[in-house]
Each structure stands twice: as structure tokens, then as C-alpha cells.
């Protein structure tokens, strides 16, 4: 078990050694309008997994395809009524945006109902999804009609054979058609996630950059993260995002100013390009200082970090709508245990075997 590197100075200030910043810790036990942790980080963003089942077999995530049965052994995946209760409690505690993720969220036939339930929750301003895009052209309209505000689509290569080598599926064209359909339907918040891997798409940065010249979307290069199951693959394929950042700056891209609520992505824009580039670099030094998100697994466990040791059971507080205040108090109490950062740089991946367990 690793310990966070917090120093308490003589006058009671907490000095955050890892990030070189000073925070003033909240009083433990005090009730806040906003969920916040010991380091003053506020949590307005929830990533909610609705299943850990996936129909793809991405080589960095589920190379053998979905093997688990956590839904069955853990009392089933979250029901719609439980999802409603989660959204209501988080909204009351200051959360404004909920991302629906998985596994692959679209394997749930009630996904449009889930989107609608979250969207109709007073206080929730944005409901967004991360998906592998399976059957996207047929499905996106139902999601938009249900209230979906934003789409993150994983497209790890624009070359059909490399896409197939990574995901196990020959479906690249379907994803591209789905993107066009989302744009036709008026969706403006579109992001494409690309996990960078030396042996697969590492030489395809030019292709991606050319693509966003005429595509008004945000393309996010994500550094491959080590998880419990992928250590060898990670060692062979990890590329530092710093190399991509250096290249962008050399080629005239400018780094956008970050708003106070910005998540961990660094964003870049260029006058000659309609699209933007985002860089997600979980191995960079200050990555966790801007953490603004909490996670709930598909079986109703709170995860304070993507790489925490284990989830905290919430299901007993999700059964009735009148447990909202109790749930909020419980969440706030758990947050006092949130660590200052993950320890990925030390190769410590907590209880996370792969990201399909939690939704990234
Ligand atoms: N199935 C959906 C998808 O792939 O978009 C949602 C779940 S997936 C776990 C969420 C995001 O995590 C995807 O963009 C995926 O590429 C990314 N991801 C999965 N494993 C990763 C890893 N080891 N390192 C970095 N990103 C990873
Ligand atoms: Fe499935 Fe997403 Fe993992 Fe790929 S990254 S195997 S699509 S959960």
C-alpha cells in the first residue's frame, strides 16, 4: 500500500510535495455545496459506467475480449432507478456533467432511457458518452433525441487494417459514418480518442493531423496507461505525450488557456486547422492536480481514482430516492481519503486490471 506524500507544516497548512502547490484543506466533517477533497479539489464531473461488457477486443484493454462476470456476481449492473438516484444526489452535490461509459455502454438496450434519465435530472447540464461506435450511424439519432450533449468516440487508427489489428473489428468506416451523422444531427461537442501505441499508430500522427485540418472536432491523443493486465504491452508500446507536444509547438500549434474547471487534457489550436488537438498525459508531473472527476463502476462502487485499490460500495444507498442526503454525506466523507495523485509512474496500477472495468 502506497502513501500519499502530504506534509503537514507547523501552522497546519498542507503542502503538496508532488505538485509543488499549497492547498488549504477543508474542515473534515463540514458540509460543502460542492463535493471536494482534502486538497481543495472540487468534483463537478462524474464518470458513470453502466456495464463492463464490451463487444470489442482492443489490444491494450481486453485483448482476449470480454471475459468477466462482475455484473452477475455483483448483483447485476446498475438499474435505471439506481442511475436516477445517483444522478440526483451528485447533481445536488454540485456535479454538472455526467459521462456514460463502460465497457461499451451501447451494449445496454436501455441506453436511450439512461441518457434521458440523466439529462432530465435537475442540475445536470451535460450528459455525454464515450463509445467504441459500434452501429453508431443507426444509434446516434436515438441518443441525441434522448438528450445526449456530447460524443467521445474511440478511433485509434484511420487505417482500416491497423484499426482492425487494434480493436479486432473491421468497422472503421462505420465509425466515420457515425461521426458524420452526429454532425448532421447538429452535435457540436465531438471528440475522438486515440490511444497512442508505438507498434500500431505511432507513425500515423501526420494522418491524424491532416484529418483534423477540415474536421471541426477535438482529437485527443491519450498516452497508453499501464494496467494490471497489460504490463508487457505497455512496456513495448508506450509513447510519451511530451514528444507529440514538442512537435505541435514546433509546427505552430498554440496551447489554449485552461479554464478553472478544465480537466486534465491540454488543448492546442492552429489557424490552419478546423479541429483542435488534446493531449492526455497521465504520466506528466501535475496531472492529478486538476482532477475534477469521480467514478462509479457498473455495479455501483465509488472509485476515488482510476487507479485506486478498490471501489467503495454505494449500492445500499441507491435503492430509494429519499436516501439522497445520506448518499451525499457518505460521498463527502469518502473523499477525505482521496490521495493526492496516482502512482502510475512507479508502475502502481491499484486494483485496475483493465480500463473496461471502470470506463477510463
Ligand atoms: N468502450 C468505450 C470506448 O472504448 O470508447 C468506453 C470505455 S473505454 C475503457 C474508455 C476510453 O479508455 C477509450 O477511449 C479507450 O481507448 C481508453 N483506454 C482503454 N484502455 C486504455 C489504456 N490502457 N490506456 C489509455 N487509454 C485507454
Ligand atoms: Fe472495449 Fe473500450 Fe476497452 Fe476497447 S477500450 S476493449 S472498446 S472497453
**Domain locations in the chain as residue ranges:** 1-31, 32-354
The CA distances from residue 244 to 146, 223, 247, in Å, are: 37, 10, 5
Is ligand 1 within 6 A of the CB of residue 154? yes
The CA distances from residue 275 to 43, 189, 192, in Å, are: 28, 12, 11
Determine the pLDDT at residue 285.
Answer: 85
Is ligand 2 within 6 A of the CB of residue 62? yes
Report which protein residue has its CA nearest ligand 1's atom 1. 104
Q: Is the predicted pLDDT of residue 70 greater than 80, yes or no?
A: no
Average pLDDT, the chain: 90
Q: Is the predicted pLDDT of residue 351 greater than 70, yes or no?
A: yes
Determine the pLDDT at residue 32.
Answer: 54
Confidence of residue 17 (pLDDT cuts 50, 70, 90): very low
Per residue in 139-187, pLDDT (tens digit) is 999 999 999 999 999 999 999 999 999 999 999 999 999 999 999 999 9
Per residue in 327-342, pLDDT (tens digit) is 999 999 999 999 999 9
CA 226 to the chain's CA centroid = 15
Q: Cα(323) to centroid of ligand 2, in Å? A: 33
Is ligand 2 within 6 A of the CB of residue 195? no
Determine the pLDDT at residue 9.
Answer: 30
Per residue in 236-254, pLDDT (tens digit) is 999 999 999 999 999 999 9
Q: Cα(258) to centroid of ligand 1, in Å? A: 24
Q: Cα(31) to centroid of ligand 1, in Å? A: 34
Give, rounded to a whole angstrom, the gap between the first and last alpha carbons of the chain.
22
Distance CA 280, CA 194 (A): 10
* Atom nearest to 104 CA in ligand 1: 1
Per residue in 103-140, pLDDT (tens digit) is 999 999 999 999 999 999 999 999 999 999 999 999 99
Q: Cα(357) to centroid of ligand 2, in Å? A: 10
Confidence of residue 12 (pLDDT cuts 50, 70, 90): very low
Per residue in 131-146, pLDDT (tens digit) is 999 999 999 999 999 9
Task: Produce one character per residue of 45-82: b if its CB has 16 or more CB atoms within 10 Å, e if not.
Answer: bbbbbbbbbbbbebbbbbeeebebebbeebeebbeeeb
Distance CA 21, CA 6 (A): 11
Determine the pLDDT at residue 71.
Answer: 59
Q: What is the rounded average pLDDT of the residues 64-81?
A: 83
Determine the pLDDT at residue 75.
Answer: 78
- 314 contacts 348 by C-beta, under 8 angstroms: no
Confidence of residue 1 (pLDDT cuts 50, 70, 90): very low
Is ligand 1 within 6 A of the CB of residue 195? yes
Question: Which one, of 224, 219, 198, lies nearest residue 207 by Cα?
Answer: 219
pTM of the full structure? 0.91
Determine the pLDDT at residue 72.
Answer: 60
Determine the pLDDT at residue 150.
Answer: 97
- 242 contacts 281 by C-beta, under 8 angstroms: yes
Superfamily of domain 32-354: Aldolase class I (3.20.20.70)
Q: What is the rounded average pLDDT of the residues 269-298?
A: 95
- 144 contacts 187 by C-beta, under 8 angstroms: yes
β-pair type (276-280, 266-269): antiparallel
- 264 contacts 290 by C-beta, under 8 angstroms: yes
- Give 323's Cβ-side CA count (13 Å radius): 16
Q: Residue 21 is placed in which grid cell?
A: 502547490
* Atom nearest to 226 CA in ligand 1: 23
* Atom nearest to 132 CA in ligand 2: 7
Determine the pLDDT at residue 18.
Answer: 38
Residues 6+ apart with CB under 8 A from 109: none
Q: What is the rounded average pLDDT of the residues 190-216?
A: 97
Q: What is the rounded average pLDDT of the residues 48-60?
A: 97
Is ligand 1 within 6 A of the CB of residue 100? no
Q: What is the rounded average pLDDT of the residues 216-241?
A: 97
Least confident range from 15-19, 56-60, 124-128, 264-268: namely 15-19
Sign of the dihedral defined by the CA atoms of residues 69, 72, 73, 74, in that order: positive
Mutation choice for ligand 1 from 59, 131, 135, 154, CB with most ligand atoms inside 8 A:
154
Amino acid at each position: 500500500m502506497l502513501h500519499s506524500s502530504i506534509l503537514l507544516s507547523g501552522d497546519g497548512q498542507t503542502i503538496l510535495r508532488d505538485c509543488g502547490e499549497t492547498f488549504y484543506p477543508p474542515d473534515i466533517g463540514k458540509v460543502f455545496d460542492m463535493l471536494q477533497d482534502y486538497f481543495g479539489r472540487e468534483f463537478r464531473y462524474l464518470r458513470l459506467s453502466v456495464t463492463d461488457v464490451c463487444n470489442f477486443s482492443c489490444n491494450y484493454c481486453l485483448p482476449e475480449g470480454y471475459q468477466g462476470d462482475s455484473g452477475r456476481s455483483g448483483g447485476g449492473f446498475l438499474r435505471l432507478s439506481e442511475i436516477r438516484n445517483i444522478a440526483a444526489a451528485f447533481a445536488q452535490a454540485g456535479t454538472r456533467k455526467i459521462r456514460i461509459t463502460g465497457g461499451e455502454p451501447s451494449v445496454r438496450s436501455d441506453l436511450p432511457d439512461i441518457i434521458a434519465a440523466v439529462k432530465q435530472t435537475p442540475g445536470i447540464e451535460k450528459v455525454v458518452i464515450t463509445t467504441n461506435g459500434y452501429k453508431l450511424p443507426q444509434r446516434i439519432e436515438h441518443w441525441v433525441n434522448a438528450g445526449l450533449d456530447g460524443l467521445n468516440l474511440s478511433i485509434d487508427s484511420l487505417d482500416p487494417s491497423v484499426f482492425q489489428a487494434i480493436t479486432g473489428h473491421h468497422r472503421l468506416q462505420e465509425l466515420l459514418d457515425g461521426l458524420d451523422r452526429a454532425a448532421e444531427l447538429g452535435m457540436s461537442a465531438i471528440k475522438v480518442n486515440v490511444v497512442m501505441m508505438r507498434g500500431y499508430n505511432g507513425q500515423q500522427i501526420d494522418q491524424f493531423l491532416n484529418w483534423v485540418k477540415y474536421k471541426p472536432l477535438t482529437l485527443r491523443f491519450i498516452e497508453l496507461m499501464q494496467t494490471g493486465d497489460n504490463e508487457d504491452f505497455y512496456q513495448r508500446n508506450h509513447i510519451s505525450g511530451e514528444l507529440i507536444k514538442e512537435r505541435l509547438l514546433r509546427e505552430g500549434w498554440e496551447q489554449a488557456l485552461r479554464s478553472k474547471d478544465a480537466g486534465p487534457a491540454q488543448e492546442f489550436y492552429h489557424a490552419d486547422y478546423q479541429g483542435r488537438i488534446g493531449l492526455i498525459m497521465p504520466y506528466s508531473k501535475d496531472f492529478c492536480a486538476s482532477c475534477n472527476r469521480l467514478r462509479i463502476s457498473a455495479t455501483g462502487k465509488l472509485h476515488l481514482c482510476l487507479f485506486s485499490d478498490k471501489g467503495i460500495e454505494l449500492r445500499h444507498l441507491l435503492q430509494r430516492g429519499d436516501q439522497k442526503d445520506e448518499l451525499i454525506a457518505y460521498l463527502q466523507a469518502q473523499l477525505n481519503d482521496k490521495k493526492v495523485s496516482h502512482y502510475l509512474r512507479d508502475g502502481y496500477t491499484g486494483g485496475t486490471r483493465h480500463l473496461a472495468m471502470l470506463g477510463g
